[in-house]
Structure formats: structure tokens, C-alpha cells
Structure 1
Amino acid sequence: MPSHRTRLIAALDTSSYEQASRWATELEGRVDAIKLGLEFTYACGLDAVKKLSARQELFLDLKLHDIPNTVASGLKALAPIHPALMTIHALGGPKMIARSRAMLEEAFEGNDSRSRLLAVTILTSMNEQSLAEVGINATPLDEVVRLGRMAVRSGADGLVCSAHEITALRDALGDAPELVVPGIRPAGSSTDDQKRIMTPAQAARAGADWIVVGRPITRADDPAAAAQAIQDELRTAVP
């Protein structure tokens, strides 16, 4: 059973800088990092991302996916923001992942706090039927493990995966890869558009390094209290 502390990322999924700023202010000290993704970045721009994350760790979840040099150049442009975590799609293949890791090593040369490169395996909104519809004839678990092996071998620091795949990934890859787990819903929360979900305590016991929680925090009457309740649950989940 894992003994490390699972850390909490709050997903600030909005196109409004004012709303995201309010959430970030309310959650400062209550979460371990904030996540900004496509919606906020496209609507508000990189200057807004940098400003909003100046006081907190940042998970910049842009899921880059293109030819190797283009993705590497994109990461180089993002490096000055210094996210703690950045994402690319594992389906971009080993050359794209290797080139991305090399670019981050170059961009942060001599800096021990280099941004960590995460490979997105299979989105938590997808199930076996969804995979078949895009030509992947495998279960989500089998495909996640296959992509996870390839991504870590190619230079990814960790993976974005469903909580239900943590055990299989640890069995296949050991404890070293950093596992970031979205699709987390406290007991009693709406599942919304997520199909493969767990509670914070279940994810912690499974061995997640980070969990990502959005609407159960940001839509709560008191986001800070909702975040604190999840932190309390995480602290008591694993001895």
C-alpha cells in the first residue's frame, strides 16, 4: 500500500479571467496546484496564465499533439511560464515524446525544478466503445498500459490516467512515473461527462501522485471548504 501523500490539483475550467482569479484566490493554501487548460488559455492568453499562476504551482494541461519539432517548439514557448506539469498526447508517438523531453531539458538546463512532462494516455471520457469508434480495438486498460510503457520509455516523467488504471500502470512501470489522475469525484458528486472515476480516498489508496478535481470544488457554495474536505480525506486515506 502506498505511503506517500496524494496531492490535490483544482481544475479552474473557465474562459473568464475574473472567475479563475477568484477561484485561485479562494483556493490558495487549500490546494497543491491549479490546473489551467485549453478553455482558459485560448480565451485569456499566456500572459493571463502566467499572472494567475504566479503564487501557486501550475498544471498546464494543453495536451499538445503534432509533429515532434512543432510540439517541442510549443513547449519551448511555454517554458518561461514554468509550469510544474505540462501535457502532451502519448498518441503522438515515441519521437514526439523524446523530442519534447529533450527540449525541456534544454530549456531548463541547470535548473533542478524543470517542468515535468506528462503523457496523456486515454481520455477519461472514453470507454471501450469510444475507442472502437476511432479504430482502437482494445480495452481502455490495455491501451493505457501500452501507451504508458511507450511514453515512459521515450522520456515522459509521468502519465495522465484514470484512477482505475493506476494499479496496472504501477505493475507495469513501477513507482517512478508520476501519475496524475483526473475523473475524481467525491462521494455523492455528479459524474458529469466522466466515465472512469473514483473518489479521492480510493485514488489515494490506489497510489495516485496527484488527483485533479474541478466542478466538485469550483461549483461548491464554498470552494475553499470543498477543497479542504478533499485534503482531509486524502490525509486519512493512506496510513
Structure 2
Amino acid sequence: MVNGKDKLIVAIDTNEFDKAKELIDTLENEVDIFKVGLEQYVATRGKTVDYLKEKGKKIFLDLKFHDIPNTMQSAVRAAVRDNVWLMTIHVSDMEGMRQCALAAKEEAEKLNIEKPIIVGVTVLTSLSNKDLQDIGCNMTTEELAIKRAKLAKEAGIDGIVCSAQEVDKIVEACGKDFVTVCPGVRPAGADKGDQKRVVTPADAINKGAHYLVVGRPITKAENPAQLAKNIVNEIANA
């Protein structure tokens, strides 16, 4: 049986530190991994990361680095020094991704700590096929995600972020050991919000996803801890 707590990542989707702290405390017994995104990180100047470390939680630093190779690898080194568990970069040029992979390995070895997992963002789950057409891309979201996943693997990073709708195709193309992180996961009956490509937790796990990111369905629930527990159980029984 799969350990659901090892698979569930809860996104902290508030820009206020006090609310983030309250949420972490509320979910402390049900959730081991929390995602700190761009809004939360900038608004609190990283205080939430420090609090999660105090609580002994795993940190998914979701800042989606996307810049010239030198800047990206420098940012990756800084994140390694912050002892995060997982971080995101955008799937971009091969050299930039290679430098990020090498920087993470070197910095972790220098500090004698475990290297964080680096995953590349393929196609944001808020994007549709029409959105891609509007910016001049003639691929579907699935086609582009698979292509970028192959590039990420070739460049040597650990895995990718993708919609669970195409995760089975990416597992088939890149192998079961290539890490897949799937946002846009919604329990049955939950509001989709601004996500256009969503699946349930059980479906995502059955398609081969390693980690599931769930935000508002948990954080906006009347009883966040109970809903998180329900999702952990759904994953375990998938």
C-alpha cells in the first residue's frame, strides 16, 4: 500500500505569514510536505520556509526559476543552501538545465547534505490548447509537455511538473524513476478554480504520478485537516 503522506503536497496559497502559520499548525499531523510558491515567498520574505524547517516539514520551493543559465544556477545554489527538499525551474534551454543540475549536486556535496529534487515546469496547468495557439505554439498541451519532459531528462534534472492528464504518457516516455509532480489535483466534486486540466488524487496516482499538489480544496475547506486525511487515504487506496 502506498503511504499517502509521502505523496501529498499541500500548497500554501495565502500571502500572509500568520495565516500560513495557522494552516501549517492545523495540518501538522496530516501533512508532511508543503509548497511555498512565489506569492507566499515574496510576501513573507521567506519566513514561511524558516517556520516549516522549525516544524521539521519537507519544503517544496516553487519559484519556477527561468532566466539566463548563470542566474538560474546561482538561484539553485541558494535554494540548496536553504535546505529545501524540492524546487522548480522552467524547462528551458539544455545548457541552463544542465547547469542547474550540476549546481545542485555540487552545492549539496559541499554542504554534505542530501541534494534537493529539481523538477522542470513543462506546461502550466492553467493553460489550454487555445492558450498555446494564441502565443504561436502549434502543439497541444500534451504534446508540448511530453517534448519538454524528454528535454528535461536529457539535461539531467530529476523530473518535471505536469498535469496528471498526461502523466502516464510522460512515464511511458521517460521511465518510472523520472519524478512527476502533478498540480491541479482536485478531489471529486471540488471546484476547479483557475485550473483547466484536473484529475482526482486516485486517478493521478494510478496514472503514475509521484507527488500530488493540492491547494484550495484543502486550504479553503471547513475542516482542512479532515480533507487532507481523506486525500491521504484516497491515495493509499488508489
Offset, 1:113: 1.9
Q: How many Å separate the matches in 2 of 1:177 and 1:89? A: 16
Which amino acid in the other structure matches residue 107 of structure 1?
E
Q: How many Å separate the matches in 2 of 1:118 and 1:50? A: 22
1:87 aligns with 2:75: no
Q: How many Å separate the matches in 1 of 2:99 and 2:29? A: 35
Q: How many Å separate the matches in 1 of 2:66 and 2:42? A: 16
Preserved CA contact (<8 Å) 1:101 1:156: yes
Identity value in percent: 38
Name the SS of the counterpart of 2:114 in structure 1: coil
Which amino acid in the other structure matches residue 157 of structure 1?
D
**TM-score, with structure 1 as normaliser:** 0.94
Mapping 1:105-144, distance limit 5 Å: 105-109=105-109, 111=112, 113-144=114-145
Preserved CA contact (<8 Å) 1:5 1:209: no
Offset, 1:53: 3.5
1:185 aligns with 2:212: no
CA displacement 1:96-133 (0-9 Å, x = unmatched): 11000111011100646211110000000001100111
Once the two structures are overlaid, the 10-residue window that deviates more, 46-55 or 152-161, is 46-55
Q: Mind listing any 5+ residue stretches in structure 2 that lack a counterpart?
A: none
Mapping 1:23-102, distance limit 5 Å: 23-54=23-54, 55-90=56-91, 92-102=92-102
| CA RMSD across the alignment | 1.3
Offset, 1:190: 0.3
Once the two structures are overlaid, the 10-residue window that deviates more, 3-12 or 218-227, is 3-12
Which amino acid in the other structure matches residue 148 of structure 1?
A
Preserved CA contact (<8 Å) 1:12 1:218: yes
1:171 aligns with 2:182: no
Preserved CA contact (<8 Å) 1:62 1:88: yes
Q: Name the structure 1 match of 2:150.
A: 149
Q: How many Å separate the matches in 2 of 1:152 and 1:45? A: 32
Name the SS of the counterpart of 2:205 in structure 1: helix
Preserved CA contact (<8 Å) 1:117 1:156: yes
Q: How many Å separate the matches in 2 of 1:118 and 1:214? A: 19
Offset, 1:29: 2.7
Name the SS of the counterpart of 1:72 in structure 2: helix
Preserved CA contact (<8 Å) 1:187 1:199: yes
Name the SS of the counterpart of 1:109 in structure 2: helix
Q: Mind listing any 5+ residue stretches in structure 1 that lack a counterpart?
A: none
Aligned pairs, how many? 234
Q: Name the structure 1 match of 2:12.
A: 12
Which amino acid in the other structure matches residue 170 of structure 1?
V
Mapping 1:218-229, distance limit 5 Å: 218-229=219-230
